[in-house]
Amino acid sequence: MACTYLGNNERMALTVTSRTMGSVQVIDLSGEIDAQSLPPLETKLQELTEGGFYRIVLDFGEVPFIASAGLGVLMSVIGTIQDNGGDLVIARSQADVYRTFDLLDFTTLFKFADSVDAAVAVFGEAVGVQDR
Amino acid sequence: MSDSDKGPAPSLKPVTVSLPSDVNYLDVARNFVSDIGQKVGLSSSEIHDLQLAVTEAVTNVIEHAYSGDTEQRIDLAIERDGECFVVAITDTGQNRFDPTAHPDPDLKEYLSQCRVGGLGLYLMRKLMDEVNFTSDERGVNQVKLVKHIKQ
The answer as to whether A131 is a domain residue is no
What are the DSSP E strand ranges found in A1-132?
15-21, 24-30, 55-62, 87-91, 111-113
Question: pLDDT grade, residue B1 (50/70/90)?
Answer: very low
**Amino acid residing at B18:** S
Q: How many Å apart are CA B126 and CA B122, to the nearest integer?
A: 6
Number of structural domains found in chain B: 1
CATH at B112: 3.30.565.10
CB contact under 8 A, B111 and A35: no
Give residue B106's pLDDT. Answer: 80
The answer as to whether A3 is a domain residue is no
The answer as to whether A124 is a domain residue is no
DSSP state of B134: E
The answer as to whether A4 is a domain residue is no
Give residue B101's pLDDT. Answer: 76
pLDDT in tens for each of the 132 residues of chain A? 344 454 544 556 899 999 999 999 999 999 999 999 999 999 999 999 999 999 999 999 999 999 999 999 999 999 999 999 999 999 999 999 999 999 999 999 899 999 999 999 999 876 654 433
Pairing of strands B141-148, B130-135: antiparallel
Beta-carbon pairs below 8 A across chains A and B: 99
Give residue A35's pLDDT. Answer: 94
ipTM: 0.87
Q: What average pLDDT does the segment B34-54 reach?
A: 95
The answer as to whether A65 is a domain residue is yes
List the domain range (segments joined by +) for residue A87: 15-119
Give residue A2's pLDDT. Answer: 42
The answer as to whether A109 is a domain residue is yes
pLDDT at B9 > cutoff 70 = no
The tens digit of pLDDT for each residue in B81-139 reads: 889 999 999 999 987 777 777 778 887 777 776 666 678 999 999 999 999 999 999 99
Share of chain B above pLDDT 70, in %: 87
Query: Which chain A positions have a beta carbon within 8 Å of B23's beta carbon?
Result: 34-36
Pairing of strands B141-148, B84-91: antiparallel
B77 and chain A: CB distance < 8 Å anywhere?
no
Nearest-CA distance B66 → chain A (Å): 15
B51 and chain A: CB distance < 8 Å anywhere?
yes
Share of chain B above pLDDT 90, in %: 66
The answer as to whether A10 is a domain residue is no
CATH at A66: 3.30.750.24
Chain A, window 69-98: residues with a beta carbon less than 8 angstroms from a chain B beta carbon: 69, 71-73, 75-76, 78-79, 95-96
**In which order are the strands placed within the sheet that holds A15-21?**
A15-21, A24-30, A55-62, A87-91, A111-113
The answer as to whether A9 is a domain residue is no
List the domain range (segments joined by +) for residue B85: 3-148
Report phi then psi at A81, rounded to 5.
Answer: -65, -50
pLDDT at B2 > cutoff 60 = no
What are the DSSP E strand ranges found in B5-140?
11-20, 73-81, 84-91, 130-135
A108 and chain B: CB distance < 8 Å anywhere?
yes
Number of structural domains found in chain A: 1
Angle between helices B44-60 and A68-83 (to 10 degrees): 80
